Amino acid sequence: DSENVIPEVSINTGFESGTLDGWVYSGPVLPVVHCNASAPEGNCYAELSTAGTAPWTSPNTISRNDLTMANYGGCNNDNYKLTFWYKFTAGDYVPFNDNLRVNVLNENNVLLFTQSLDVATVGNYGSSNWISANVFLGQIPIGTSLSVKVSAVTTNVLDSALTSYGYVDGFKIVKV
Instruction: For residue range 39-70, list pLDDT tens digits in order.
Output: 998 899 999 998 876 666 678 899 998 887 77
pTM of the prediction? 0.89
- How many angstroms separate the CA atoms of 126 and 124, rounded? 5
| E strand spans, the chain | 8-10, 24-26, 32-35, 44-49, 60-70, 79-89, 99-106, 111-118, 131-139, 145-155, 165-175
**For position 88, what pLDDT does the model report?**
98
pLDDT band at 6 (very low <50, low <70, confident <90, very high): very low
Residue-wise pLDDT for 64-88, tens only, equals 988 877 777 666 677 889 999 999 9
Report, as an integer, the average pLDDT of 89-113: 94
